[in-house]
């Protein structure tokens, strides 16, 4: 017996995501609580952006067409209800995230090209980093296994978007006072000027670039910035700014 491979109407999905964003942005609107609120918050406010995109895409797909299998990542997955999650994410989620959510999910152009999204479906057996990444994978699998109806999916989607907005607010509160001050640019320039007065054997540019990258990628899990001596051979396997 052949497996059913449903599709998701991207126009309908876009309309639903716009509606979910509008609801989430309206503080006066109460979103019905779901039994997965804690899990959704954990994923959205976690450091792994790929899991955030997978969650929102799956909930949007299930809201639009309840016959899809929310665990599926590829239409070719050997499971009933498999659909093309990548096209839905890149064609709808990424665009509206940029237009209406200030890239709060992570600002990735093609998140489904990242390793956690390159499996046929979400499964506890998928290979991910031990620790937080594996915890998030198991939480994601639990949520997407249990959401059954389009109503549950849409309420969960609204919740995910609201937590996304709250995530930005929380991150803004953690910014150093330097970034909040009116003369922050001047202080930054002064810091750089102070650094470049030192030769440090030609390492200043690498140090400054590595510092900036370290601060930026500290918000994500799975990245490590390593600065190597500037005179190291370009052919060396150790020459890179960050790894994922």
* 235, pLDDT greater than 60: no
> How does the average pLDDT of the chain come out, rounded?
83
More confident residue, 183 or 204: 204
H-only helix segments in the chain: 10-25, 37-44, 49-64, 85-88, 94-100, 132-146, 150-173, 177-180, 184-196, 204-217
Q: Which pLDDT band, with edges at 50, 70 and 90, does 185 fall under?
A: low
Q: State how far the Cα of 50 lies from the Cα of 31, in Å rounded to an integer.
A: 25
Report d(CA 235, CA 81) in Å as an integer.
47
Question: Does 239 have pLDDT greater than 90?
Answer: no
Name the residue with higher pLDDT: 205 or 73. 73
92, pLDDT greater than 80:
yes
pTM for the full model? 0.72
Please, which pLDDT band fits residue 233 given cuts at 50, 70 and 90? very low
3-class SS string, 88-100: HHHHHHHHHHHHH
pLDDT of residue 218: 65
Domain boundaries, the chain: 10-173, 177-243
């Amino acid at each position: 017996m052949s497996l059913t491979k449903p599709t998701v109407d991207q126009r309908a999905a876009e309309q639903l995501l716009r509606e979910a964003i509008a609801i989430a942005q309206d503080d006066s609107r109460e979103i019905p609580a779901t039994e997965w609120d804690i899990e959704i918050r954990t994923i959205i406010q976690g450091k792994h952006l790929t899991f955030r995109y997978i969650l929102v895409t799956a909930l949007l797909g299930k809201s639009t067409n309840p016959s899809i299998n929310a665990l599926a990542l590829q239409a070719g997955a050997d499971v009933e209800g498999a659909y093309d999650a990548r096209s839905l994410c890149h064609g709808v989620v990424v665009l509206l995230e940029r237009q209406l959510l200030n890239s709060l999910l992570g600002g990735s152009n093609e998140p489904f090209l990242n390793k956690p999204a390159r499996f046929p479906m979400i499964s506890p057996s998928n290979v991910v980093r031990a620790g937080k990444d594996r915890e998030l994978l198991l939480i994601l699998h639990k949520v997407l296994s249990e959401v059954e109806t389009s109503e549950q999916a849409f309420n969960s989607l609204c919740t995910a978007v609201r937590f996304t907005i709250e995530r930005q607010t929380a991150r803004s509160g953690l910014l150093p006072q330097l970034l909040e001050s009116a003369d922050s640019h001047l202080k930054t320039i002064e810091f750089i000027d102070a650094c470049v007065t030192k030769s440090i054997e030609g390492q200043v540019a690498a140090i400054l670039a590595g510092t900036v990258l370290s601060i930026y990628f500290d918000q994500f899990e799975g990245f490590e910035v390593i600065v190597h001596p500037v005179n190291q051979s370009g052919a060396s396997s150790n020459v890179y700014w960050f790894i994922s």
